[in-house]
Amino acid sequence: MSGLSVFGTWVRRGAVTAAAVMLAGVVLAPSAQASVSQGGIYGSGVVTDDWGDEGPLSTTSNSHNIVVGLWQSVLIADGYLPGGGADCYFGANTKAATIRWQEDRNLGADGIVGPLTFGRADNNLYWVGSEIRYDGSDLNLYNMHRTSSGRWYADGGGSTVYFSYTSTDGCP
């Protein structure tokens, strides 16, 4: 299977190389509101509507955190950023890749990752047992999960990493 673990292992046509996609963090306790106000990514029910209330991520808003690393992993999986391009910073390269990703999906190409952009990306999420995967154009993302309270995390390498808007722990 071709894929990218959100913990940083690429698998493409049988070859394995390291990628800079180590994601870590702590998520704040959930509140009644969604997305940034909760401190991290949460969902319930089907996974294809979990990201539609997330963001914004941009060069000026929530620009350095674990959720940016997750978004960069989506861009890598879809072929818009090179492998090793995830650094948890939403800079010029991530903005340009986001604009191309949005253009190719007929979204408002403003380089800001908000509910419409995240909502389009989550259409590619699917379950494999208790694991959530992202079906990318070039690679699949894997090792993602939800707790019983809906909190998103990655599991791998003996660590649990929560997708957080408030933490950069573990970012390269």
Per the structure, the complete domain to which residue 108 belongs is given by 3-162
Q: Is the pLDDT of residue 2 over 80?
A: no
The predicted structure's pLDDT at residue 29: 30
In a domain, 106, yes or no: yes
Residue 116 lies in a domain: yes
Query: Can you tell me the distance from the alpha carbon of 146 to that of 130, in angstroms, rounded to the nearest whole number?
Result: 8
Q: Which of 118, 34, 110, 138 is nearest to 71 (CA)?
A: 118
Q: Are 96 and 29 in contact (CB under 8 A)?
A: no
Task: Give the 3-state secondary structure of residue 12.
Answer: strand
Residue 79 lies in a domain: yes
The phi and psi torsions of 89 (rounded to 5 degrees) equal: -110, 130
The verdict on residue 39 lying in a domain is: yes
Does residue 172 fall inside a structural domain? no
What pLDDT, on a 0 to 100 scale, did the predictor assign at position 4? 64
User: What CA dihedral angle connects 46, 108, 81 and 64, to 10 degrees?
Assistant: -80
pTM over 0.85: no
Q: What is the pLDDT of residues 106-165, one digit of tens each?
A: 999 999 999 999 999 999 999 999 999 999 999 999 999 999 999 999 987 778 889 999
Q: How confident is the model at residue 6 (pLDDT cuts 50, 70, 90)?
A: low
pLDDT given for residue 85 in this prediction: 85
Tell me if 171 is assigned to some domain.
no
- pLDDT tens digits for 9-26? 333 322 222 222 333 332
In a domain, 170, yes or no: no
Establish if 82 belongs to a structural domain.
Answer: yes
pLDDT of 42 higher than 60:
yes
Q: How many domains does the chain have?
A: 1
